[in-house]
Amino acid sequence: RAKAQGRGRWAAHQPGDSDPATDRLTLLEQLRVALRDGELRVHYQPRVHAATGRTAGVEALVRWQHPTRGLLPPSAFIDAAEDSGLIRELGAWVLQEAVEQVVRWDRAGGDAAGLHVSVNLSARQLAETGLADRVAGVLARAGLPAARLVLEITETALMSSPELALRTLEQLGAVGVDLAVDDFGTGYSSFTYLKQFPVDELKIDRSFVAGLTTGVGDRAIVASCVHLAHAMGMIAVAEGVETAEQRDALVELGCDQLQGYLFDRPQPADVLFPPLPVGVA
């Protein structure tokens, strides 16, 4: 492409050019720069109590404000970050940012005060030594009680190395944070492990929620997930709730909390909860 554009050999190779190995390298180099130069953003999506519709918390979801490609979703860069190990730095940044944001919301004292915040952890982060200590450090420095933080780990990440996950979850549990199994139902859970994990919530994958009002199978799966969660002392959270029919079915099935476009899309902090004008308290 550099030649075709006649820009000489220093023209940057862009993602989307033909060589996938080079593309990935370029993407990673750009992502490293993005972390350093502050191009990453955290958007927040509320989750509501099924019974009342009141906001229970927000999930932090990373975005990349790319200089030429616009706002990129995690699917455009999380896998590359995970494969390369850059996910540790990225994950640490998201955690710090999200924890500081809820503390700012607390201080502002508006509708957003007192919310829980959920942060996603990848398989690689779960394998980090000293993760629990670092999480405790971030909370202590920000002054946020551990009980206000939920760490979400996908079923697939948990089961990819369950013995290791068990140890890390126990350490995180000892710090006092809540733990969630994300995308539940899409991986291969072993009940032998699931019953040992000190988990506080099951997040039912949105693929089952999508089929809830059309497929008998999906309704049975969601009902089973809710029962399983409650029988094991966890709450059940549904993700990807897009319609009022899905919401009503989830309430009927006893699901505790709901998250999805029906309520809110993920948005920047000050769009979701606009700051009060100065002087109005």
Q: Which positions lie near ligand C2E, rule CB under 6 A? A: 45, 61-62, 73-75, 78, 91, 94, 120-122, 152, 182-183, 206, 239-242, 259-261, 266
Place of tokens 């958007």: 43
CB of residue 223 vs ligand C2E: minimum separation in angstroms? 20
Binding partner of 236, given ligand C2E, Mg ion, none, CB within 5-8 angstroms per partner class: none
Q: Which DSSP state fits 243?
A: S
Helices of type H across the chain: 20-37, 78-84, 87-108, 123-126, 131-142, 155-160, 162-175, 191-194, 206-210, 216-231, 244-252, 269-272
Interface size with Mg ion, residues (CB under 5 A) = 5
In angstroms, the CA 70 to CA 275 distance is 25
In angstroms, the CA 261 to CA 257 distance is 14
Give the C-alpha distances (Å, rounded to integers) separating 115 from 36, 53, 78, 141, 278: 29, 14, 26, 18, 22
| 105-109-115 Cα angle (round to 5) | 50
| Position with the least CB separation from ligand C2E | 260
Burial profile 132-146: b = 16 or more Cβ within 10 angstroms, e = fewer: bebbbebbeebebeb
CB of residue 206 vs Mg ion: minimum separation in angstroms? 5
CB of residue 176 vs Mg ion: minimum separation in angstroms? 20
Please identify which residue in 45, 55, 101, 120 interacts with Mg ion, judged by CB under 5 A.
Answer: 120
CB of residue 68 vs Mg ion: minimum separation in angstroms? 28
Please identify which residue in 99, 125, 134, 152 interacts with Mg ion, judged by CB under 5 A.
Answer: 152
Binding status of residue 218 toward Mg ion by CB under 5 A: no
CB of residue 11 vs ligand C2E: minimum separation in angstroms? 31
Binding partner of 62, given Mg ion, ligand C2E, none, CB within 5-8 angstroms per partner class: ligand C2E
Binding status of residue 178 toward Mg ion by CB under 5 A: no
**Residues at the site binding Mg ion, with contacts judged by CB under 5 A:** 120, 152, 182-183, 239
